[in-house]
Amino acid sequence: MHNKSQELFRRALGLMPGGVNSPVRAFRAVGGEPLFMASGKGCRITDVDGASYIDYVLSWGPLILGHCHPEVVEAVARALPSGTSFGASTAAEVELAERIREAFPSVERVRLVNSGTEATMAALRVARAATGREKILKFEGCYHGHADSLLVKAGSGVATLGLPDSPGVPRALAELTITVPFNDLAALEDAFRIHRHQLAAAIVEPVVGNAGCIPPRVGFLETLRALTAQQGTALIFDEVMTGFRVAWGGAQQLYSIQPDLTTLGKVIGGGLPVGAYGGKAGLMDQVAPAGPVYQAGTLSGNPLAVTAGLKTLEIIRRPGFYERLNALTEKLTVGLQAEAARCHVPLVVNRVGSMFTAFFTREPVTDYSSAQKADAACFAKYFRGMLERGVYFPPSQFEAAFLSSAHGEDEVTETLRAARDVLAALSSAAL
C-alpha cells in the first residue's frame, strides 16, 4: 500500500495543477496515482512509504552516475559553505565551459542557463537574429521544451504550417514553425524546397528521446546538415538528453556531424538544475554583452549546479566508463527483447548508448507516427507490473529510460526476472 503517497497526492491536488510540478509525474498515461519519492542511493529510489525500486528514470536522464554518487555529494558539500548563489561570475563556470568545449568541438562559445527550455529558446533567438529570418523547422515527436515556438504539431501534409499544440500559443507564432516527420528524407527535402531560404533554424533531437528512444536512420542527419548548410539555415542539435549521455561528445560525436548551435542540460548539472547553449563564435558573439541578442539569468552558472556538473564530467571521462555502461544497457535491452519473444508479446526495443525504450508493437519504430502505433494500454499494464516487482520505468510509453554506472549485473538480472513474470502475465491475458 502507498498510503503516504496517496495522502500527499490528495494534498497536492489542491495546491498544484493536476497535483504535480511536471505533467508526466501524474501517471495519467499508466493509470493509478503517482508515487512520492523520499530518497535515492545508487541505482535505487525509495518512496515515502518505504518501498524501494530499481530506477530507470534517473531524474529523466541527468543521473548518469546514479543517485548520490559519493564524489558528487562530497564536491557539493565542499562548495555549499562558500555560498549558494552570487549573481556574479565564478571560477567554476569557466571550468565547466572549458569541459564543454573540449567535448564538443562545434561549441566555440557557450552560455550557461538554468534549463533545457531556456537553452533552446535562446538558441532559436540567436539563429533568427543571425539569419534575419523567422521560420524554424522542427520534427514530429521531438520535444525542445515548452517555449511557444516549439509547442506545435504538424498538419497532415508535408511541411505544412503548424497549429499550436497547446492553448495559449499565438497562432501567428505557430505559423512560423514548420514540422516534418523525423527520419523522412523526402519530407525533409520538400520542406527546404517549399521554404527555400526562409528557415532561420532547423532544430532536432539527433536521437529522439521524447517520443521514446528513436535513432536516426543512416543519412538522415547528414542530409539535414547538407540542406541547412546550402540554404544558410542554422542547424541546432538539441542534446539536452544525449549530451554526455550517448557519448562524451554527445550524438554529434557518435554520428560525426557538427551543428551550428548545440543545447545541453541534464548530465552537465549532475542532477542539479542547469542548461547551456553554444556554438560557433560568429553566432554566439551576437549574445549580450558581446552583441545585441539579449539573454540573462539570475541563477545562470549556479555554483552548486556547476560543481556537481564538473565532478560528474570528471568521473564519466575515466577510461572504460561508456564501454561498461553501454554493454550493460545492451544486455538489458537484448534480454527484454528475448523475454518478450519467449512469451509471444510483440515488443521492439530501441537503444542508443545507455538510453532505450521498449515499444509494445510488432513494427520498427522510426518516427513519431510509428511510435504512436505502439500499444500504450499494454505498456501501462507492463509499467504497473514492473512497479509492483520493484522496478521503476518512465510512466509513459513515449519516454526514454536510462541506465547509470550505479546499475550492475545483479540489477539487470533482477529486472529481467521481473519482466519475465510480467510479460508472461500479459501473454496469458491476451490469450
> Any idea of the CA torsion for 19, 141, 236, 100, to the nearest 10 degrees?
50
What is the per-residue DSSP string for 2-59? -HHHHHHHHHHHTTSGGGSSSGGGG-TTT-S----EEEEEBTEEEETTS-EEEESSGG
Catalytic residue among 266, 367, 375, 392: 266
- Alpha carbons 370 and 361: distance in angstroms, whole number: 9
266 is catalytic: yes
- Which residue(s) pair with 238 in the sheet? 263
Contacts of 418 (CB under 8 A, 6+ apart): 385, 386, 389, 390, 391
Q: CA-based Rg of the chain, rounded to a whole angstrom?
A: 21
Q: What are phi and psi of 127, to 5 degrees?
A: -65, -40
The C-alpha cell at 35 is: 508515487
Task: List the catalytic residue out of 55, 238, 260, 375.
Answer: 238
CA 412 to chain centre: 22
**Could you tell me which of 96, 85, 83 has the C-alpha nearest to residue 299?**
85
Catalytic residue among 53, 143, 322, 392: 143
238 part of the active site? yes
Integer Cα distance of 205 and 142 in angstroms: 6
Please tell me what DSSP assigns to residue 210.
B
DSSP letter for 213, please.
Answer: -
Retrieve residue 212's grid coordinates.
521514446
- Rounded to whole angstroms, what are the CA distances from 118 to 5, 58, 90? 31, 21, 21
Whether 399 contacts 24, CB under 8 Å: yes
SS3 177: strand
CB 245 within 8 A of CB 354: yes
Identify any residues that bridge with 37 across adjacent strands, giving them in sequence order: 47
Catalytically active residues are 143, 238, 266
